[in-house]
Amino acid sequence: MTEILYREAIQQALREEMLRDDTVFLIGEDLRDPWGGTYKATAGLSPDFEDKRVLNTPIAEDTIIGAALGAALSGTRPVAELMYIDFVMRAMDAVVNQVAKVRYMSGGQSDVPLVIRTQGGGGRSSAAQHGNSLEAWLCHVPGLLIAMPSTPADAKGLLKTAIRLNDPVIFIEHKLLYATKGEVPDDEYTIPFGVADIKREGTDVTIVAASRALLFSLEAAEELAREGISAEVIDPRTLVPLDEETIFESVDKTNRLVVVAEGAERCGWTAEIAARVQEARFYSLDAPIQRVAALNVPLPFQPDMERYVLPSVKDIVAAAKRTLDA
């Protein structure tokens, strides 16, 4: 195991898959050096591969996705980057009406081996048009797979899997995770979609969180432990497909559930998980399920206001305690 940055794990996954399969290529805005992408996740790749393997594009998200879809249907494995998840709105017709539906509308005759990498989340004053968490929108679309890795090891293993799949994947990287560090296996490995990871075992309350919210949840679990409360923290890693059974088994053990996400609370994926647990494990619950998410307002630019709107460690601790007080 070697400790590396989250962005370095992304770079390793891309480089290894491009070396393994010469049909893999990158397409997006400012991917080549000296920029290496907005958050340097593709830095160092353009000198190592021919220009046709790392393609810079104009600022035209619908064209990026349309071109990537055409390439995927023509026998290559493109990894397209949308600079911010907010910009998926510029390509929503291509993503929702084309990428997600081609296999179905072709009667299963057409594979779509396309990965759309994008950056989501707040916490750095990116404001209302560059700091959103829109994964719930995309989870609602049949035909798309959704990955949200929280650690460098998960980011590398899931991205390698995503590139090898024959279905379209939305791969969401939180912009404040790129500089985080974690141990990554030195040997070749992949992580299957639809397999959650129990990041911390516990007995009193289950906390389910993905991406940067997972780090907050682990911090909350440490604070709860100091008060004698044992929290089990589960990272679904992929929202589609979702590993329900790991969550259900944990709720059977703890009898309490808190779901944490950075997106707005209304109609978020926290509600989806809460509904599935209520439907399948109602009699296991000793308290109402608690959701911790952003307030239902546009994300502010001012740092103090942004922190007020986004979920915090304090909010997670309070939610866990509410399940124990019920």
Q: Tell me if residue 130 is catalytic.
A: yes
In this structure, what DSSP letter does residue 176 have? Answer: T
Q: What is the pLDDT of residue 326?
A: 76
How far CA 45 is from CA of 51, 153, 234, in Å, comes to 10, 20, 33
Asked if 158 and 121 touch (Cβ cutoff 8 Å), the reply is no
Query: Which domains, and CATH codes, for the chain?
Result: 2-184 (3.40.50.970), 197-325 (3.40.50.920)
Helix, coil or strand: residue 55 = strand
Q: What is the pLDDT of residue 97?
A: 96
Q: How far apart are CA 167 and CA 310, in angstroms?
A: 32
CA-based end-to-end distance of the chain: 43
CA proximity to 48, closest of 7, 82, 11, 78 = 11
Helix and strand numbers, DSSP H then E, in the chain: 11, 14
In this structure, what DSSP letter does residue 109 have? Answer: -
DSSP secondary structure string, 201-259? --SSEEEEE-THHHHHHHHHHHHHHHTT--EEEEE-SEEES--HHHHHHHHHHHS-EEE
Please give the sequence-ordered ranges of beta strands (E in DSSP) within 88-149, or none if there are none.
Answer: 115-120, 145-147
Q: What is the pLDDT of residue 52?
A: 83
Q: What is the pLDDT of residue 50?
A: 74
Helix, coil or strand: residue 21 = coil
* E strand or H helix at 99: none
Tokens of 32: 């080549």
CA proximity to 7, closest of 41, 37, 38, 30 = 41
pLDDT, one tens digit per residue, over 32-67 is: 999 999 899 999 999 988 778 999 999 999 999 999
Helix, coil or strand: residue 42 = coil
How far CA 249 is from CA of 168, 252, 268, in Å, comes to 29, 5, 23
Q: What is the pLDDT of residue 253?
A: 98
In this structure, what DSSP letter does residue 113 have? Answer: -
pLDDT, one tens digit per residue, over 128-173 is: 999 999 999 999 999 999 999 999 999 999 999 999 999 999 999 9
Asked if 270 and 292 touch (Cβ cutoff 8 Å), the reply is yes
Residues of the chain with pLDDT under 50: none
Q: What is the pLDDT of residue 284?
A: 97
Q: Which of 77, 130, 256, 281 is catalytic?
A: 130
Q: What is the pLDDT of residue 114?
A: 98
Q: What is the pLDDT of residue 196?
A: 98
CA proximity to 106, closest of 69, 61, 77 = 69
